[in-house]
Structure 1
């Protein structure tokens, strides 16, 4: 594995880290490779520790924090941990809970749960991030969106409503805190991400995409890093990513 660089000595947070093959883990690896100390957060400590072990083996600096993104107390403690002895410069909100269900089978409880995980958690993390980043003069906050951020198609009504709300949250924060030096970006992931989630939940569909028909997590992570490195005279707020052969 590539060894960590020392170009950056600040801190980063990645919220929504699951399996080693997922996007959250790829983001953490990419940020750590640049010398940032990365605090990774999720709900499953065992998965977090596996990702952390991989980063440490490559020479990166990482800390682990089990946290609920919908809890303001958990999120504040997470940020305190990340800023323990380094200045925070980059936050990625990568929570993407999704349960397909036709409209008539979407219960109020399911609708609210997806909204809380995707949108409400994004709001809590986003506000905490911009408050701290603005206070230190700037930084980057990136939200992971989806095809559903832009259009609601069956059977993803609840997921689309939640992701559209997250997109609106990102826009509002960008307009308010961009002038204060905080770069807020929203990444529309328009396609299937290769990894454990796709293999477990819709393996046949992912296989039907063929060679280069799914998004490679490391390539997506590269875009997040590029967003963080943009000069403030030419910031991107929203970018959409898809395999070259994905129709849109």
Structure 2
């Protein structure tokens, strides 16, 4: 057996879910393929892992481009000498914005769908193609409260995330019996990461201490999902701060 490999799609800031997941699996001895759209950000994550003694490589990937997703899996399944094919796949791509429904353009709706849902299809399909022959593996999709309900100003986001949730359920039912653990994580609340702190600092201040989901707390659940005994797999897990009004 060689060094285990994981691939994480949709990695942005080091202090986001994607970056934190990469570091968490690297601490457990995984070689991590850091896949994201912005080269500078994913290189920063890979560098941080290497500085801590871990193993990682940055792989620029647009998760809405079928050819790039396939190429990323080609690399993940052939990660180099001394490394095993990837048996962990994380789909973490997402974007969000409040847009009045009457002002929502077709182009905007399609863009949110491509990032929030279509990317999950591409990643999920390739994961199934590559992991079924291995007879094992974990595939985790990052969802949101929009996966469960559509709120005013979020029709585009909720439509995409609800579709992603259905992809995860269909995959779990089809591939669970073949040894593939497919899970969907509903992140219900604001995330204490660089994106929210930079975009809406007033909200962060208003919610106060522990009013946002801890990035490290979130990714600890990703590791737990991966390590679950297959006699008691979780298909969907919802996470929220203890202060959240849900």
Which residue in 1 is equivalent to 2:223?
Answer: 225
Q: Does 1:152 align with 2:118?
A: no
CA contact (8 A) 2:15 2:215 kept: yes
Q: Does 1:28 align with 2:22?
A: yes
Which residue in 2 is equivalent to 1:179?
Answer: 177
Deviation at 1:96, TM superposition (A): 1.2
2:69 is paired with a residue whose SS is helix
Question: In the aligned structure 2, how far is the partner of 1:34 from the partner of 1:125?
Answer: 23
Q: Give the root-mean-square deviation of aligned CA atoms.
A: 1.2
Question: In the aligned structure 1, how far is the partner of 2:64 from the partner of 2:26?
Answer: 25
Deviation at 1:219, TM superposition (A): 1.0
Q: Does 1:120 align with 2:122?
A: no
Which residue in 1 is equivalent to 2:54?
Answer: 60
CA contact (8 A) 1:178 1:184 kept: yes
- The structure 1 residue matched to 2:36, chosen from 31, 37, 42, is 42
Question: In the aligned structure 1, how far is the partner of 2:187 from the partner of 2:95?
Answer: 14
Tell me the TM-score normalized by structure 2.
0.96
Any residues of structure 2 matched to 1:161-200 within 5 Å, and which? 161-200=159-198
Equivalent residues, number: 242
Deviation at 1:8, TM superposition (A): 8.3
1:39 is paired with a residue whose SS is strand
Question: In the aligned structure 2, how far is the partner of 1:11 from the partner of 1:47?
Answer: 20
CA contact (8 A) 1:8 1:36 kept: no
Any residues of structure 2 matched to 1:121-140 within 5 Å, and which? 121-140=119-138
- The structure 2 residue matched to 1:104, chosen from 89, 97, 102, is 102
1:88 is paired with a residue whose SS is coil
Q: Flag structure 2 segments of 5+ consecutive residues without an equivalent.
A: none
- The structure 1 residue matched to 2:87, chosen from 67, 86, 89, is 89
2:191 is paired with a residue whose SS is coil
Which residue in 2 is equivalent to 1:205?
Answer: 203
The 4+ residue runs of structure 1 with deviation greater than 6 A are none
1:233 is paired with a residue whose SS is helix
Question: In the aligned structure 1, how far is the partner of 2:127 from the partner of 2:204?
Answer: 34
CA contact (8 A) 1:31 1:225 kept: yes
Which residue in 2 is equivalent to 1:3?
Answer: none
Deviation at 1:131, TM superposition (A): 1.4
Deviation at 1:9, TM superposition (A): 2.3
CA contact (8 A) 1:69 1:121 kept: yes
Tell me the TM-score normalized by structure 1.
0.95
- The structure 2 residue matched to 1:236, chosen from 234, 237, 240, is 234
Deviation at 1:98, TM superposition (A): 1.2
